Amino acid sequence: MSETSRDALRERALKLDAADPLAPQRELFALDDGVYLDGNSLGALPLHVPDRVRDVLTRQWGELRIRSWDESGWWTAPERIGDRIAPLVGAAAGQIVVGDSTSVNIFKAVVAGSRLADRPDGGPSVHDGGPSVHDGGPSARDGGRDEILVDATTFPTDGYIAASAARLTGRRIVPVDPAEVRAALGPRTAVVLLNHVDYRSGRLHDLPGLTADVHAAGAIAVWDLCHSAGALPVALDEHQVDLAVGCTYKYLNGGPGSPAYLYVAQRHQAAFDSPLPGWNSHADPFGMTPDYTPADGSVRGRVGTPDIVSMLTLDAALDVWDGVSVAAVRAKSLALTDFFLECVEAYVPPGRVSSVTPAAHAERGSQVALRCADAEPVMRRLIERGVVGDLRRPDVLRFGFTPLYVGFADAERAARVLAEVLADVPGENPAA
């Protein structure tokens, strides 16, 4: 590629950054002079968070101590922070509770979803005024809805948890490629667990269409939002999703191991039967009674004592979303990934990498995955040169584009350094 063409791409990147309405958000994060493209694994630290956490440790815990459960709002933090996440995933208040890990919340959702499908009265309605979840048909106990469909390409933990939930509820797991879900649905389907965005390829699945199909089959739809929340519109309420889970340490920047969240649609809350009925979800948690009576609303998703330090770290991190439109984030995400792919095509010799991320905007999340025969040494050298992505063995380079702090100059530089690294790596087998 000529130097003139390289200069043209660099100049374009600078112009795009200058016109970017989200560019000021970058100043809110702790970043170095490298290019950080791994926010789809761990989001960058918002600069104000350490001071907020210091207050939690020194004043709320150090001075107020036990009083902070009331005076600092610790007790209601899971629902209050859930309400802050709600607009980012298109949910009204009162439907999201924060706490536990993604894996634990998947377990709650899949088992509770199975129990909803088992309800002899058909459970609460999937659509307001429409048919019920189950339409009063047979349950798993009499050979009816005895299947849990799970994304065969899913992050492994989702599959492990779903398999355990199937054993617990007397069902069998049916692994299905997301493209084959519609054909696999039927009268035996109880629950369908799907990823909104594939963690390897960055493929965005059709949440509205697939949710409608699951409902038409009389089943419960459970969505994993780990790679979509904070990167693109989700619209849980609009598309009448039943249950959803997600982590907060990726695009929501909550910090390593920050607590996950569980969404329970309002119409299902009265019947939501958690497989982990801890004291925190009791209607009278301090009554310490031997019998369990579930609380009303999203509180039912709680289990034990909340992890307050991590939870309030997340609460502080969510401040970077104040005044930010998810639609603007999505527009920039698509523009960034388009531009990066254009730069890769311009800079990288033919045959060394190939994109496994869909070109179509309707099918793309906020990452670009490139197949590369020498992925491990290539990513190692990229990181050494300040371009931080990650890889999925054996041959996928992943680059996550977090619109709040990644710019177009970052995208151009990453593609340019990738080409330079590939020139130094022999590459015995070109990408397929």
User: Which one is catalytic: 300, 398, 413, 416?
Assistant: 398
Identify residue 163 by its one-letter amino acid code.
A
User: Which one is catalytic: 146, 224, 390, 410?
Assistant: 224
User: Which one is catalytic: 115, 250, 332, 381?
Assistant: 250
424 annotated active-site: no
β-strand partners of 391? 397
CA of 189: how far to CAs of 133, 215, 273, in Å?
11, 10, 19
Say how far apart CA 364 and CA 366 lie, in whole Å: 7
155 annotated active-site: yes
250 annotated active-site: yes
Torsion of CA 409, 412, 414, 415, to 10 degrees: 180
User: Which one is catalytic: 107, 249, 347, 401?
Assistant: 249
Identify residue 193 by its one-letter amino acid code.
L
Name 68's Cβ contacts closer than 8 Å, sequence gap at least 6.
60, 61, 74
Which tokens belong to 81?
Answer: 């922070």
224 annotated active-site: yes
Closest CA to 154 of 180, 173, 178: 178
Say how far apart CA 409 and CA 415 lie, in whole Å: 10
408 annotated active-site: no
Asked whether 116 and 243 are in contact (CB, 8 A), the reply is: no
Identify residue 328 by its one-letter amino acid code.
A
Name 324's Cβ contacts closer than 8 Å, sequence gap at least 6.
22, 25, 404
Closest CA to 219 of 179, 260, 163, 174: 174
Query: What are the residue numbers of the active site?
Result: 155, 224, 249-250, 398
